[in-house]
C-alpha cells in the first residue's frame, strides 16, 4: 500500500475511535513518526495531508528540517529522549518537545529558549509503566517536576506524553492511557490550568489511546511500513 492509502486508512480509524468515545476527530493530531525515513518519504506523507512530523534524534531531525525548509506549514516535534547537551539544538529547531523528564533538562531548555527569545512548548514525559528501559519521570514524581517547570519563564507546558509497555493484546494498554489522562486531570485541578495535550498511542494501539483521550498520536510503521 502507498503512504497515501495508509494515511487514509489511519484517518478512518481516528474518526471511528473518536466517534466511539464522543470526541471530535478534528481535535486529534496525526503525527508521523519519521525516524529513519528519508526527506522524500516525509514529502510523500506531507502530500497525503500530514502536517506534523516527529523525530527521535535531534541531529537526524535537523538534517531533514533543513532539507524540507521550503515547505512552510510543517510542524516539527521532538518525540525521542533528549540529552541535556542537545537542548540548544532542540529549542532552535523543534516546535514542541515531548520528552521533558527531569529538572536539569528543564533548566537547560529554559536557558536556551531565553537566549533565542522563544517560549518553548513542552510535554512532560511520564514513565507510565515504570520500566527501567524507558525515559520519563515516575508517576509519583510528576507533580514536583510539573511545579518546577511551571516556574520557568521560557517554557510552556502543553500536557503529558507516555509510551506504555508493549502488549500483543492492545487492550492491555488501556489502563496506562487512562492513568495518564487521570494524572493530567489531577494536575489541571491542582494547578488551576488547562493542559491541552496527551501524546499517547502508536501504530499498534492508537485507537485505544484515542478512546482514552489522546490528542496527539505518534504513528510510524502504519504510515511508512516496517523500518528497513
CATH number, residue 184:
3.20.20.10
Write the pLDDT tens digit of every residue in 8-46: 999 999 999 999 999 999 999 999 999 999 999 999 999
Task: Return left, alpha or beta for 36; rule: phi > 0 is left, psi -120 to 50 is alpha, else beta.
Answer: left
pLDDT exceeds 70 at position 129: yes
Domain, as residue range, for 191 = 3-224
Taking the C-alpha atoms of residue 42 and residue 47, their distance in angstroms, rounded to an integer, is: 9
Is the predicted pLDDT of residue 226 greater than 90, yes or no?
no
Quote the number of domains for the chain.
1
Whether pLDDT at 127 is above 90:
yes
CA dist list (Å): 194 to 11, 91, 124, 157: 26, 23, 14, 10
**Mean pLDDT in residue range 121-131:** 97
Return the SS3 of 127.
coil
* Predicted model pTM: 0.97
Dihedral sign, Cα of residue 200, residue 205, residue 209, residue 210? positive
Q: Cα separation of 82 and 151, whole Å?
A: 21
- The pLDDT-based confidence of 215 (bands split at 50, 70, 90) is very high
Amino acid at each position: 500500500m502507498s503512504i497515501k492509502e495508509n494515511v487514509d486508512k489511519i484517518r478512518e480509524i481516528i474518526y471511528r475511535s473518536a466517534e466511539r468515545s464522543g470526541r471530535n476527530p478534528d481535535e486529534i493530531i496525526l503525527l508521523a513518526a519519521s525516524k529513519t525515513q528519508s526527506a522524500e518519504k516525509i514529502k510523500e506523507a506531507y502530500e497525503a495531508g500530514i502536517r506534523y512530523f516527529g523525530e527521535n534524534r535531534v541531529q537526524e531531525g535537523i538534517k531533514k528540517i533543513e532539507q524540507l525548509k521550503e515547505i512552510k506549514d510543517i510542524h516539527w516535534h521532538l518525540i525521542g529522549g533528549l540529552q541535556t547537551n542537545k537542548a540548544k539544538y532542540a529549542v532552535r529547531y523543534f516546535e514542541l518537545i515531548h520528552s521533558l523528564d527531569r529538572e536539569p533538562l528543564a533548566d537547560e531548555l529554559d536557558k536556551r529558549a531565553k537566549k533565542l527569545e522563544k517560549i518553548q512548548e513542552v510535554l512532560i514525559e511520564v514513565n507510565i509503566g515504570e520500566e527501567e528501559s524507558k525515559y520519563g519521570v515516575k508517576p509519583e514524581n510528576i507533580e514536583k517536576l510539573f511545579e518546577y517547570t511551571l516556574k520557568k519563564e521560557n517554557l510552556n507546558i502543553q500536557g503529558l506524553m507516555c509510551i506504555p509497555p508493549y502488549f500483543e493484546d492492545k487492550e492491555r494498554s488501556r489502563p496506562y492511557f487512562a492513568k495518564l489522562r487521570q494524572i493530567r486531570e489531577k494536575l489541571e485541578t491542582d494547578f488551576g490550568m488547562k493542559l491541552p495535550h496527551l501524546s499517547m498511542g502508536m501504530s499498534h494501539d492508537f485507537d485505544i489511546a484515542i478512546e482514552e483521550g489522546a490528542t496527539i498520536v505518534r504513528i510510524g510503521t502504519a504510515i511508512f511500513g516496517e523500518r528497513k
